[in-house]
Amino acid sequence: MPLSQSPSQNNAAQENAVPNRDPTEPLAIEARGLVKRFSGTLAVDGVDISVRQGAIYGILGPNGAGKTTTLRMLLGIIDPDEGVRRVFGQDNPHEIAQLIGYLPEERGLYPAMKGVEAIAFMGALRGLTLAEGRERGRELLINHGMEFAIERQIRQMSKGQAQTVQLLGTLVHRPKLVVLDEPFSGLDAINQGKLERMIRDLADAGTTVIFSTHVIHHAERLCEGVAIIAGGKVPYAGSVEAARDRIPAQVRLETRSREGAWLKALPEDARREGDFFHFPLPETGIESLLKVLIEGKAGIQTLSIERAGLHDAFVHIAGEAAARALEDGTMEDGQ
């Protein structure tokens, strides 16, 4: 049954929601027109997201853009004021809580609990028996080189160790959908690398992974699809490739000759920086221009065509202000 449309839906988001998606492909998450207000302030304004099962999907935006509120609505932690969401076809995500694992942005564990007990408790919340949770918790901790944490209290662990324990607790019941809110925040480079590998392994095993981040590189490296969120709206939701394709590739040309008739063949928006010219790849391609340059004896030293990155796409889609906010957030976390 198709989801109904909300009147406050963002048209741009509608167009971009799921480009090139096979309509028969099973979805892990489908949300339309999600709206949330807190004390009259619009926190999320008409968010549309579709995530296919088994995908790694990123929700990309600066701090305060509405990422956490969106995730909370998707998971049923809070209900949207408008719009609908479905997780594995269920309107109420709590009905399938055992299929979902969630790592909130505000990490939370009981400080007096031992590592293995914390994992077992999180498993118990998702339907495991305590004994099973303890057994799996012990196994997970050993496999992640944290045997010492089995009997150690959370309060005696470093922030990174406690965060890993919570992440393992998120996965202990072997969920089919894993939702991670700013999972890389607070981790050092080595642990970020480990987490990236873990996310890839989960996806390889058929688990859908959704994570929010304000660090573009993580989304670019890991995600098949992204939703760009800024000011509570989603101006783009779709594949990373399609986002990058929104900006034409950039041509970088270095010539030996400084003058000549060939200069007239360059696009009007080409800009010169020393011996280099920068301009967007012409819609007709580079071949015709290349012919003119050779015939005009421009003396091509180097010629490179660079595809736009997700960062450029973000600036193009969300605007300079959102990009600056994103960078501020990134800098705050030291990434």
Partner 1 sequence: MTVTAGAKSRLSIWQAAFVVARRDFTAVLFSKAFFFFLLGPLFFIGMIGAGGMLGAASVENADPPKLAVAMSGPDSEAFIAAHAELAELTRLPDLVTGPDFFTTPTEELLSGSESNIAAVLTGSLNAPKLTGPDERIENWRGEVALIAARALADNGAVYPEVALDPTVSSVASQRSNKASVATASITLLFLLTMLLAGMVLSNLVEEKGNKIIEVLAAAIPMDAVFLGKLFAMLGISFVGITVWGSVIGTILLAGGESLPPMPEPGVGWPLFVALFLIYFSMAYLLIGSIFLAVGSLAPTVRDVQTMSMPATILQLVVFFLVTFAMRDIGSPVELFAVIFPLSSPFAMVARAAQESTLWWHAAALGWQVLWVSIFVRAGASLFRRKVMQSGPRGAKKRRGLLRRKAAADA
Rounded CA-CA distance 130/151 in Å is 15
Q: Is 267 in the site for partner 1 (CB under 8 A)?
A: no
Q: Which is nearer to partner 1, 171 or 266 (CB)?
A: 171
Q: How far is the CB of 99 from partner 1 (least distance, A)?
A: 6
Which residues lie below 8 Å from residue 193, measured CB to CB, with a gap of 6+?
none
Site size toward partner 1 (CB under 8 A) is 42
Q: Is 96 in the site for partner 1 (CB under 8 A)?
A: yes
56 backbone dihedrals φ, ψ, rounded to 5°: -105, 120
Rounded CA-CA distance 79/73 in Å is 6
Contact 34, 298 (CB under 8 A): no
Mark the segment that binds partner 1 (CB under 8 A) among 92-100, 143-151, 232-240, 271-279.
92-100
Q: Is 335 in the site for partner 1 (CB under 8 A)?
A: no
Give per-residue burial for 244-265: e unless 16+ CB within 10 Å, then b: beebeeebebebeeeeeebbeb
Two tokens, residue 215: 């660090």
Cβ atoms < 10 Å from Cβ of 168: 25
Q: Is 321 in the site for partner 1 (CB under 8 A)?
A: no
Binding mask 69-88 for partner 1 (x = CB under 8 A): ---x--xxxx-------x-x
Q: Is 195 in the site for partner 1 (CB under 8 A)?
A: no
Which residues in 200-229 contact partner 1 (CB under 8 A)? 206
Q: Which is nearer to partner 1, 178 or 289 (CB)?
A: 178
Which residues in 140-179 contact partner 1 (CB under 8 A)? 166, 176-177
Q: Which is nearer to partner 1, 164 or 255 (CB)?
A: 164
Rounded CA-CA distance 57/309 in Å is 17
Two tokens, residue 44: 């999320």
Q: Which is nearer to partner 1, 72 or 244 (CB)?
A: 72
Contact 74, 87 (CB under 8 A): yes
Q: Which is nearer to partner 1, 129 or 143 (CB)?
A: 129
Which residues in 39-68 contact partner 1 (CB under 8 A)? 53
Contact 275, 254 (CB under 8 A): yes
**Closest to 118 (Cα-Cα) out of 70, 168, 81:** 168
Q: Is 124 in the site for partner 1 (CB under 8 A)?
A: yes
Rounded CA-CA distance 218/209 in Å is 13
Q: Which is nearer to partner 1, 1 or 190 (CB)?
A: 1
Q: Which residues bind partner 1 (CB under 8 A)?
A: 26, 28, 38, 53, 72, 75-78, 86, 88-90, 94-100, 102, 104-113, 121-122, 124-127, 166, 176-177, 206, 332
